Amino acid sequence: MRVLLADDSALGRRLVEATLSRAGHDVTSVADGEEAVAAFARLSPPLVILDWLMPNGVEACRRIRVLPGGPDAFVLMITARDQSADLLDALGAGVDDYIMKPVTPEMLGARVIIAERRLEQNALRRRAEDALAAAQRLAGIGETTLALQHEINNPLAALLVHAQILVTEAATPALKADLDLVVELTRRIADVVRRLSELKAPRSVQYLGASSMIDLATSKS
């Protein structure tokens, strides 16, 4: 797992880096909060470890949370502070968990395992939410298709029959040409309704500007 570590103590960074590297993690280390924010914007690591007392430690957490990928990251704070008010401030800034100094390899390893489990649970939850949203979208498309078929097919069929009768009775070539066009356009509308009824895995395509529409060309896929 990619890990971003921010600590202004070179010794502290080396100790944490060694523990994480032995566990197989890919660690990027920086020395202050500004560098941490810049590194997160560049790498979007799932785990961020911040030292409270380095410059801009808690503020770095706040700023990371509003970056792309920030809300999904797990932020672990290393701190020597144990006052409830301080810890509440850290949690309010978006910290997920904290570990008290002095940091031992065993305690750090346990906290990282907790982070990995939380990240896995969040990923499973997001996939379940995405699947539910997709199912609801498909259900909505299905209901819309049934409504269109019910409201359009019967009058459309009647229109086509009458237009075809009028074609056979057209008094002039110009009128016949106009009626032929009506028949053709009516059949095109019927084909759109048919393709809607055959949608299996609908997807959206860009239409105009920020607008999108269902791609009926993939209705049989």
**3-state secondary structure at position 6:** strand
Residue type, 23: A
Give the strand pairing for 212-214 and 204-206.
Answer: antiparallel
pLDDT top residue among 169 and 122: 122
Sign for the CA dihedral angle at 201, 206, 208, 211 comes to positive
What is the per-residue pLDDT across 102-123, written as a single tens digit (0 to 9) for each? 899 999 999 999 999 999 999 9
CATH fold label, 138-218: Helix Hairpins (1.10.287)
Domain spans, the chain: 2-103, 138-218
Give the model's confidence band at 210: pLDDT under 50 very low, under 70 low, under 90 confident, else very high. Answer: low
Percent of the chain at pLDDT above 90? 42
Residue 78: band (very low, low, confident or very high) from pLDDT cuts 50, 70, 90: very high
Identify the band that residue 173 occupies on the pLDDT scale cut at 50, 70 and 90: confident
Q: Nearest to residue 182, comparing CAs of 163, 169, 165, 168?
A: 163
- Mean pLDDT (the chain) is 85
CA 13 to each of CA 6, 19, 83, 117: distance values in angstroms, whole numbers, following the listed order? 8, 10, 24, 24
Q: Which residue has the higher pLDDT, 51 or 85?
A: 51
Beta bridge partners of 28: 4
Structure tokens at 122: 């969040």
CATH superfamily ID and name for 2-103: Response regulator (3.40.50.2300)
**Cβ atoms of residues 54 and 79 within 8 Å:** no
Q: What pLDDT does residue 177 have?
A: 87
